[in-house]
Structure 1
Amino acid sequence: MKPLFHGIIAYPVTPFAEHDGSVDLAQLTKLIDKLINDGVHAIAPLGSTGESAYLSDEEWDAVTSASISAVDKRVPIIVGISDLTTKNAIRRAKYAEQAGADAVMVLPVSYWKLSEEEIIRHYSSIGAALSIPIMLYNNPATSGIDLSPELIVRISKAVSNVTMVKESTGDIQRMHRLNQLSNGSLPFYNGSNTLALAALSAGATGWCTATPNLNAALPLALYNAISTGDLAAARQHFFKQLPLLQFIMKGGLPTTIKAGLRLQGFDAGIPRAPLLPLGEKGNDELQTILNGI
């Protein structure tokens, strides 16, 4: 049986209204409809792409509820949870569960450097408050915390509802090691866009990506080719989209994805300050890339 979350897990941006910068829930609903109609296997709001760190608690709650309502059980939905305090991470996780999320994705973030015991306690406290699965998210580039494969497997053994891992360091050896340490029992998901071919080939259960906002067909084609064992086709689909993957990673996901959506006629507003919108040169380069795929 396939896990609840598999394949292409799409990360929508959080649209902001042009006139006052408020969260635009109507546009968010349209974007989620677009992603599901394009064929993605799951929706994951409020990750790094969704500018979760820049939202107030009230805005975060509104985006969570609107996203779950928009998905309307058509595909699974996993809500991103990250906060400096365990208390508010629990609050958000419980809110997501009560609103109808199928799972939460927990990224620990730090100001003071956290010890392994503090990280384990953070996950244990969140897990004890929930009855839905948790995807452990390792992304040191945004969180300031790097979870080793050994620590990740230790957490999964200590917290029963930590049942999957999103690995975003861009190091394929981490995924090999997770598989080795867990004897293949802990599903891992690729969170590094330019590693998609290698990660899926290595047995990643899915690819967590913002790319479908701009082009869902190529990520889906890559996943399907890997699933059917057609490595030649997988390479072809991967290298066709690689310039786009490289561009959005280099330029920052909220900035580049929102610019790309606008180029395609969908207004999701601009990123929230201090992030800046993509400049003219970047827009021209992105348009060329989009025209080429």
Structure 2
Amino acid sequence: MAVPPVAGIIGYPVTPFVPDTGELDLERLRGLTGELVDAGCHAIAPLGSTGESAYLRDAEWDAVCETTLDAVAGRVPTVVGVSHWSTETTVRRARLAERHGATAIMVLAQKYWSLTEAELEQHFAAVAAATDLPVMLYNNPGTSGVDLPPLTVVALARKIPAITMVKESSGDVARFRDILDMSEGALSVYNGSNPVALEAFRAGASGWCTAAACLVPRWCLELHTAALHGPPERADALLATLLPFLKLIVDRGLPRTVKAGLDIQGRHAGPPRPPLRPLPAEDTSRLRELLDRLDAHPLTAAALPGG
């Protein structure tokens, strides 16, 4: 099996906006990105759904891409989400990401009209051919409306050699093992569904793509270490403590919950961009409670089973 260019905890930064104007706050983005790297994330992945990529104007997308990669400055690998409805814009974004030093690009099939298998293949092939970067194929049927089952994923990778990684966000853990088996280990798989993080690592996932690292990076890193190096009961205990928080940020929507959490921590990133609205007060109160509980937890080997 080839060594993947990214592995471990892959942090997804939000895109900060100035509260009064709604414009990009690039200095805040630089700071938040640096905090993810300094906290120990093994890679950074800007411009996913957490980064509100779908709501950015072209010039804003370009600025976020350039600023994030400049802030990382090669300290850890970077995976830039280049997805767009159109092949032309996705290709343009891929080339820009390469020009600014991205390690890899991530491509989600987004649809308005239903796409045929031939259209999907054509789209991914065009984007892959646009750069020399490895491609992370992203399957997230909940947000894209397109589901790429393991058989389709492996078939695409065989036709398009640049596809070497797959981010699987359906929450179906069996797919991780299926992709690994069907590709005979040629594809590296990554988990994008926060609640199944531990199961995914145990099923062979190379990494966990998560916005949770914006708020509780140490917990994410500890879970990764425990999943890989055990003992199993420590990993189980970590996940059990972390799970209510993970479920809340997924259920209520990552951009609004992560930004609310940053506000709670005094690390403001502005509001989400309309049509998204800030997290309601009741949910914010629950999020504060969960963050306080995690912050107060000793998170030491002696405090958890297997320590």
- The aligned amino acid for 1:278 is L
Aligned partner of 2:53 in structure 1 is: 52
Aligned partner of 2:134 in structure 1 is: 133
- The aligned amino acid for 1:139 is N
- Secondary structure, aligned partner of 1:146: coil
Aligned partner of 2:168 in structure 1 is: 167
Aligned partner of 1:288 in structure 2 is: 289
Cα distance in 2 for residues equivalent to 1:56 and 1:200: 36
Deviation at 1:2, TM superposition (A): 4.4
Aligned partner of 1:98 in structure 2 is: 99
In the TM superposition, what whole-angstrom CA distance separates every residue of 1:130-176 from its partner, at most 9, and x where no partner exists?
10111000001111110111110011111111110000000112112
Deviation at 1:185, TM superposition (A): 2.0
Question: Structure 1 segments of 4 or more deviating over 4 A?
Answer: none
Q: CA RMSD in A?
A: 0.9
- The aligned amino acid for 1:268 is A
Aligned partner of 2:191 in structure 1 is: 190
- Secondary structure, aligned partner of 1:105: strand
- Secondary structure, aligned partner of 1:79: strand
- The aligned amino acid for 2:265 is Q
- Secondary structure, aligned partner of 2:190: strand
Deviation at 1:3, TM superposition (A): 2.2
TM-score (norm 1): 0.98
- The aligned amino acid for 1:108 is A
Aligned partner of 1:146 in structure 2 is: 147
- Secondary structure, aligned partner of 2:18: coil
Cα distance in 2 for residues equivalent to 1:3 and 1:172: 20
**2:44 counterpart of 1:26:** no
Cα distance in 2 for residues equivalent to 1:206 and 1:185: 15
Cα distance in 1 for residues equivalent to 2:240 and 2:249: 15
Aligned partner of 1:177 in structure 2 is: 178
- Secondary structure, aligned partner of 1:110: coil
Aligned partner of 2:277 in structure 1 is: 276
- Secondary structure, aligned partner of 2:9: strand
- Secondary structure, aligned partner of 1:130: coil
Cα distance in 2 for residues equivalent to 1:241 and 1:161: 35
Cα distance in 2 for residues equivalent to 1:30 and 1:135: 26
- Secondary structure, aligned partner of 1:188: strand
Aligned partner of 2:8 in structure 1 is: 7
**2:43 counterpart of 1:36:** no
- Secondary structure, aligned partner of 1:145: coil
Can you give the 5+ residue segments of structure 1 that lack an aligned partner in the other structure? none
- The aligned amino acid for 2:195 is T
Cα distance in 2 for residues equivalent to 1:242 and 1:180: 28
Cα distance in 1 for residues equivalent to 2:283 and 2:248: 9
- Percent of matched pairs sharing the same residue: 47
Cα distance in 1 for residues equivalent to 2:38 and 2:94: 27
With 243-252 and 232-241 compared, the bigger mean Cα shift is at 232-241
In the TM superposition, what whole-angstrom CA distance separates every residue of 1:227-265 from its partner, at most 9, and x where no partner exists?
213211111111111011000000000000000000000
Aligned partner of 1:204 in structure 2 is: 205
Deviation at 1:177, TM superposition (A): 1.2
- The aligned amino acid for 1:252 is G
- The aligned amino acid for 1:284 is S
**2:85 counterpart of 1:84:** yes
Deviation at 1:184, TM superposition (A): 2.1
Can you give the 5+ residue segments of structure 2 that lack an aligned partner in the other structure? 295-307
Cα distance in 2 for residues equivalent to 1:86 and 1:2: 29
